[in-house]
Structure 1
């Protein structure tokens, strides 16, 4: 097996200063299921006191009416983002139904045997609201509703324009030097995305927290998982089953050939998928026996958001723009890192060490050489990803790059060491040692597999006698944290006003539409 020093080196640009990172922004999206006191998924409506899930900027729902999503705005420090996220959790906790709690794990538990008991998220009677619910009905018809109850964390990062301007000044290729600032920014973000895809096995090993699943999640599915304890299945060395074939999967998307080598090609390939019929989905039909719509269309993707990926280029849409149109018009504004499991040990699903590591990794991916990524290498990455997701804690877990094979530990150590100057730059910018200490923590997980979150989850699942008991214990602890978290009067007033204004916005949308939903849908189809 090759030694770690044979892994290609990273040359840190010595001209970069901490000032080049001033103005960096990060935002966090966290999903969590509302669970009843008996453990089952909540069947109640989204709490009206929290406002409209359709129009609220920070508190909404994802697939299910019970699957809440909390969204921070872009903020200038990790501590601000985490505090904002904690505020949201505390506000939500105040308005949950009696006995309800937020489920702390990425993988759901205590799902009913009947999938239809998983309520689709509802957004009112406006055309856009009904459209969003229909999209979710289509997802359930295509992939099953259980898969859609998985929770995750999305970490959004954007780097300052000054950094891209400096990077462009040091380019030696005339093509890159001649690009507009917008095109150059998109070019560098695509490089970040390709490298992040290459490093998803590292993310799965270091912060993966879903090595086991509640038995109910696998109802009706063939699998290779083993019983861990009553009601819980696992893979002995797994790290992040959420990111494997039992998590978010879409077989139809394998044929798409969507690449991140140029923004123009990415946009074109994504839009093509939204307009390409897929025979298997055509056989499902567009409407049920009663004439009710089953799915938006029979295409590979109903809408662009259906494309499952572990990282996404993002631009804020304006007006009626689709995500890809926004990208085509204004380039990439930020990157959404989606390969992040919920950390069950923190009340808000993510801690500052994980956030700091993700930011270091993001800048490392931005600065590191990033050749174009095609099918041959992608197949190798898929192999590495499956290896780490399913058996990353095995002593003989390996990573393959090109013609070389490395032990996972050697490969991870080499890259964590290469990230040290990046972490030091962040420390200098933030005037604290958070980023370097985050890398030290990650290295300790490489040095001793028992320090990984996935190993801790297995140990505690055994300790408490199953996924439900373990998750319930954490849910009670986290609820105490929400109740003890201090919300000043200004924050309470702010969220009360947001709830009211969001309800007013939804009401206005419901008054404004002048065409029947069936006509609205036909126009889209």
Structure 2
């Protein structure tokens, strides 16, 4: 196996100045299951003290009623984003009922044999609320409810317009120089996305933290996992099972051919999927024996957000816009990096090292050349991802790229070393050493595989007698850290007001609806 050679000679153009990156924004979405004191998934409703899951901007639910989602607004530094996320966790912990805690791992806590006990998220009686619950019902019918109990972290990142203006000025291609800023910005974000997809094996290797699962998660499924301890399954060298065959997968989507080579091609692919019936989903039917709807439609995707991807181009939708209409109307505003496991050692699911690493990586992906991603390379990337997910810490794990096959450590080291000038640049921008420190930590994980999060999770799962023992210990530690987290009177009053306002907004939506849900659904279909 050859040592990899860098395929890009210019990592950091000479004209790039650190001041360009003042104005970067980042926001974080973190998911976590509410669990009962016995470790089983909560059966209780979303506590009313949180406010409305339908209309609250920071505290909502994802698939199930027990799957919390905490969302920060965009912040101008990593420190502020993490602090905001910590505030949300501390507020949420205050309002949990019946000694419930937040489960700290990506893979779920104890699930019983009955899938119906994974209760769908409820958003009230308005048409939009009922539609959201029906969408989740459809996901359960299509893929099973267990798959939807997995948690993750989504890292949202945008670069200021001056970065794109400077990049465009230095383009040698006249066609790119003549694009509007909006179109050029979208073009560069799509290039970033292609490169991020190429480098997702690096993310899974360095911050993957789901090498094992509770046996209950695999109930009724064929699998190749091995017993680690009673009640816990694993693969000896796995890093991020959340990102593998047992995580968010959808064989129907693989046939879509959605690509990130152009925005028009991406949007066309999404639209086609939302409008194309898919025979296996048609066989499930649209209604149950009582005539109640069980899925929004029988198409490849019920709605655009059903498309599971490692990274998404995003634009904030206005009222009545779908995500793709927002992209079409105003271009890409930011990227959502979705290949990130929950870090069980952090009380908020992500630490500053992971955040800084992701930002350096995203900048690297933005500045590197990014040829179109064609089918042959896509298959190669999927092979690399599977290799890292299932056996990334194996002594003979390898990555295949355009220059050949390489040991994973050599390939990873080359990628991280190539990012060093960008870490230095961001350190100058923010007057910090955070970015360089994050890369130094990642190099340490590459040099000593036992330092990776996935290796630590295995060691601590063994030490604590299984997934439940380890997870409950961390949940208890995190609960104590939420209690010690200081909340200012202003923060407390802000979240109290939001809870009240969100419930009022939900009530307003429920009163406003003159259209029956049947008609609302028929109109959507």
1:76 aligns with 2:41: no
- Say yes or no: does 1:190 pair with 2:190: yes
Q: Counterparts of 1:458-497 in structure 2 under 5 Å?
A: 458-497=458-497
Report the Cα distance in structure 1 between the residues aligned to 2:377 and 2:227, rounded to whole angstroms.
Answer: 35
Structure 2 Cα separation of the partners of residues 9 and 497 of structure 1: 53
Alpha-carbon distance in 1 for matches of 2:38, 2:421: 49
Alignment partner, residue 520 of structure 1: 520
Aligned to 2:233: 233
Q: Which residue of structure 2 lines up, in the alignment, with residue 113 of structure 1? A: 113
Match of 2:382 in 1: 382
Measure, in 2, the Cα distance between the counterparts of 1:343 and 1:275: 37
**Greater Cα offset, 399-408 or 159-168:** 399-408
In structure 2, distance between residues paired with 1:26 and 1:10: 26
- Tell me the TM-score normalized by structure 1: 0.99
Which residue number in structure 2 is paired with residue 49 of structure 1?
A: 49
8 A contact 1:193–1:365 mirrored in 2: yes
**1:272 & 1:6 partners in 2: Cα distance?**
38
Distance change (3 Å), C-alpha of 1:503 and 1:517? same
Separation (CA, whole Å) in 2 of partners of 1:125 and 1:32: 25
**2:268 is the counterpart of 1:268:** yes
The separation in 1 between residues aligned to 2:389 and 2:445, in whole angstroms, is 15
Partner residue in 1 for 2:253: 253
Provide structure 2 residue ranges, at least 5 long, that are not aligned to the other structure.
none
Instruction: Tell me if the contact between 1:171 and 1:177 (Cα under 8 Å) persists in the aligned partners.
Output: yes
Distance in structure 2 (CA, Å) of the matches to 1:36 and 1:238:
28
The separation in 1 between residues aligned to 2:148 and 2:10, in whole angstroms, is 38
- Call closer, same or farther: CA 1:297–1:49 in 2, change over 3 Å: same
Map of 2:278 onto structure 1: 278
Mapped partners of 2:399, 2:413: distance in 1: 12
Q: CA RMSD in A?
A: 0.7
Contact residue 7 and residue 414 of structure 1 kept, 8 A: no
Secondary structure in structure 1 of the residue aligned to 2:379: helix
Work out the CA distance in 1 between the residues paired with 2:40 and 2:194.
Answer: 39
**Aligned 1:62-461 pairs, distance under 5 A:** 62-402=62-402, 404-461=404-461
Query: 1:29 maps to which residue?
Result: 29
CA distance in 2, matches of 1:491, 1:309: 34
Which deviations, in whole Å up to 9, do the C-alpha atoms of 1:121-151 show, x marking residues without a partner?
0000000000000000000000000000000
Cα deviation for residue 403 of structure 1 reads 5.3
- Provide the C-alpha distance between the structure 1 equivalents of 2:268 and 2:318, rounded to a whole number of angstroms: 19
SS across alignment from 1:98? coil
Quick check: 1:211–1:241 contact (8 Å CA) kept in 2? yes
Q: Aligned partners of 2:322, 2:248: CA distance in 1, in Å?
A: 22
Q: Deviations over 1:202-231 (max 9, x none)?
A: 000000000000000000000000000110
Aligned-partner Cα distance in 2 for 1:140–1:390: 26
Whether the 8 Å contact between 1:138 and 1:296 is mirrored in structure 2 is yes
Are the aligned partners of 1:10 and 1:418 in contact in 2 as well (CA < 8 Å)? Answer: no
Tell me by how many angstroms 1:78 deviates.
Answer: 0.3
Q: Which consecutive aligned stretches of 4+ in structure 1 deviate over 2 angstroms post-superposition?
A: 4-11
Q: How far apart in 2 are the matches of 1:121 and 1:9?
A: 50
Q: CA deviation at 1:10?
A: 4.4
| Alpha-carbon contact 2:210-2:341 (below 8 Å) kept | yes
Q: Distance in 2 between matches of 1:6 and 1:326?
A: 37
Q: Which runs of 5+ in 1 are unaligned?
A: none
1:515 deviates by 1.1
> After the TM superposition, which residues 11-22 of structure 1 pair with which residues of structure 2 at under 5 Å, given as runs?
11-22=11-22
Contact preservation (8 Å) 2:210, 2:240: yes
User: What is the number of residues matched between the two proteins?
Assistant: 525
In 1, Cα distance between the equivalents of 2:143 and 2:429?
45
Q: Quick check: 1:210–1:454 contact (8 Å CA) kept in 2?
A: yes
Matches of 2:6 and 2:521, distance apart in 1 = 56
Q: Deviations over 1:165-191 (max 9, x none)?
A: 000000001111010000000000000
Report the alpha carbon displacement of residue 17 of structure 1 after superposing the two structures with TM.
1.0
Alpha-carbon distance, 1:234 to partner: 0.2
Cα deviation code 1:226-250 (max 9, x no counterpart): 0001100001100000000110000
Inter-partner Cα distance in structure 1 for 2:456 and 2:240: 13
TM-score of the superposition, structure 2-length normalised?
0.99
